[in-house]
């Protein structure tokens, strides 16, 4: 194991697919600790420098894909993090959050109230993603399975607890990158079959089902 390795049981140089949901620190109005809307009221935050110092690149065994969740108001900071990790951004996607009724789930934001959460898909080397392509939009609303086509990549779920990501994201990643034999999640808040998970709040939500 590498001296000072921060990711506990995650083995260095072992993964093909890595998802990171950093506890970004950003300015808020009001008292963030007393508000259910602000991240600081739910978990400890990290400074940009602390996130940049994480040895994420050393998780990869070779070529691979990384998914980095970022705050809508912090695209430049997210790209700076990728530069610090020496990982190349490829494209972006978005999770459009809705209520159980299918209407936009209104959150906080600067100038605009955010109903979405972006992520960056980045690459280490040239990973073999195969031939299947997915939509860059992850929408969440209720619809029957009879409305789905074989290549329909719109995800039908809704926003849940604070910072809980849609299970369908991982299903999408597994489908479009089947060559990824080992996968891991950083700052995870639940376990998921087929993925190694690391984080201080790993038991915050029920374990995801395959």
Neighbours of 92 (CB within 10 A): 15
Using only C-alpha atoms, what is the Rg of the chain?
Answer: 17
C-alpha to C-alpha distance for 159 and 60, rounded to whole angstroms: 30
CB-based burial label for 12 (10 Å; 0-12, 13-18, 19+): middle
What integer pLDDT is reported at residue 109 of this predicted model? Answer: 59
Evaluate whether residue 5 is within a structural domain: no
What integer pLDDT is reported at residue 107 of this predicted model? Answer: 64
Evaluate whether residue 142 is within a structural domain: yes
What integer pLDDT is reported at residue 94 of this predicted model? Answer: 80
Give me the CATH number covering residue 93. Answer: 3.40.50
CB 10 within 8 A of CB 184: yes
Q: Is the pTM of this model over 0.85?
A: no
Q: Which domain holds residue 30?
A: 15-198
Evaluate whether residue 3 is within a structural domain: no
Evaluate whether residue 205 is within a structural domain: no
Evaluate whether residue 4 is within a structural domain: no
Nearest one of 100, 101, 81 to 89, comparing CA atoms: 81
What integer pLDDT is reported at residue 154 of this predicted model? Answer: 43
What integer pLDDT is reported at residue 27 of this predicted model? Answer: 60
pLDDT tens sequence for the chain (210 residues): 788 999 999 999 999 999 999 999 866 555 555 555 554 445 588 999 999 999 999 999 999 999 999 988 888 999 999 999 999 999 888 887 777 776 666 666 565 556 678 889 999 998 876 655 555 555 544 434 444 343 344 454 666 556 678 887 888 888 888 889 999 999 998 899 999 999 988 886 666 655
DSSP string, 149-186: -TT---------STTPPPHHHHHHHHHH-TT---EEEE
> What domain count does the chain have?
1
């Amino acid at each position: 194991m590498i001296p000072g390795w921060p990711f506990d049981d995650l083995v260095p140089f072992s993964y093909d697919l890595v998802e990171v949901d950093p506890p970004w620190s950003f300015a808020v109005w009001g008292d963030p600790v007393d508000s259910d809307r602000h991240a600081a009221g739910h978990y400890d935050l990290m400074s940009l420098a602390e996130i940049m110092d994480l040895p994420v690149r050393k998780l990869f065994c070779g070529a691979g894909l990384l998914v980095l969740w970022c705050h809508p108001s912090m695209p430049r900071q997210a790209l700076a993090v990728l530069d610090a990790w020496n990982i190349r951004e490829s494209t972006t996607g978005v999770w459009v959050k809705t209520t159980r009724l299918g209407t936009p789930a209104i959150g906080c934001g600067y100038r605009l109230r955010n109903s979405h959460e972006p992520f960056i898909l980045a690459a280490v080397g040239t990973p073999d993603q195969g031939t299947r392509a997915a939509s860059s939009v992850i929408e969440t609303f209720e619809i029957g399975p009879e409305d789905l086509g074989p290549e329909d990549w719109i995800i039908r779920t809704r926003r849940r607890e604070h910072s809980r990501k849609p299970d369908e994201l991982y299903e999408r990643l597994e489908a479009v990158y089947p060559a990824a034999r080992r996968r891991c999640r950083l700052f995870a808040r639940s376990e998921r079959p087929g993925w190694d998970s690391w984080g201080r709040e790993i038991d915050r939500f029920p374990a995801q089902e395959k």
